[in-house]
Structure 1
């Protein structure tokens, strides 16, 4: 979790010479959602729990697929259109495992990590978006 801008290239640098694949997923703030024009996003989180859940998700991915480095960083605070909100880097000896592990990490992050998003619309309104209810640590894993 960080309040600072994310440089995705820093995450991919963790790959080493044993890895033949390095995959980088970058989520960016878009200017629309469900027919509404978005001006910015505000992310809030429960940092201690979020870090713990993220570590668990990374450990799960590493146990399911042959990976090298797996790195995840998510922004909190106000983000403008085009800014990076989340970055996930996965290195692996082979691309298939990198793709599978990366997909797993982003999907589980969206389901389980206590991060909340409020969209600020160009018409001046804002709305907290529905997400998944995080499960207590240790359940559903």
Structure 2
């Protein structure tokens, strides 16, 4: 498990390569990068600050919880602090697992929970001023199906569409 808060460029490709293992059938990556605008305002750069010790402790707890909760093999959580310019990675989440479903679910849960709970703050510097950004709310209506709730699985061990509780393609067309 790799959990870090850094002040330099995050070597995303190296971290992904280090996490891969022969038992994995999936590696899911969330590479959060600085975009050139927010809600139509041109972004010059972002400044990240944190209560470093608490943030690192909470990130380590999230990584351990993801392994247990989703049954994934390994996790990397790396967040950068300081001034970042457009195109740079601010946060990297990597999840390695035997199955893609668990990797996707754990990756989504990790970034959403990190952004909602870990004491890391972002100041957005725009061409016309600056603000301390509010965190994005946790998306409503996204439910992660727990292993115990999934009774039907396809041949590769992934949940069948019928057992996830998600609407089928036919049901989506009727909506």
Structure 2 length as normaliser, TM-score? 0.72
Give 5+ residue unaligned stretches, structure 1: 133-141
Structure number with higher relative contact order (C-alpha < 8 Å, ≥ 6 residues apart)? 1
- Partner SS for 2:9: coil
Which of 4, 7, 20 is the aligned partner of 2:25? 20
Give 5+ residue unaligned stretches, structure 2: 137-175
Superposition deviation, residue 78 in structure 1: 0.2
Moved runs in structure 1, 4+ residues, more than 4 A?
Answer: none
**Residue in structure 2 matched with residue 51 of structure 1 by the alignment:** 56
Superposition deviation, residue 24 in structure 1: 1.3
Structure 1 length as normaliser, TM-score? 0.89
Higher-Rg structure is 2
Aligned length: 131
- Partner SS for 1:71: strand
- CA shift digits 1:5-33 (9 cap, x unpaired): 01111221222111111111100000111
- CA shift digits 1:15-58 (9 cap, x unpaired): 21111111111000001112211110000001100011001111
**Residue in structure 1 matched with residue 146 of structure 2 by the alignment:** none
**Residue in structure 1 matched with residue 142 of structure 2 by the alignment:** none
1:3 aligns with 2:7: yes
- Partner SS for 1:67: coil
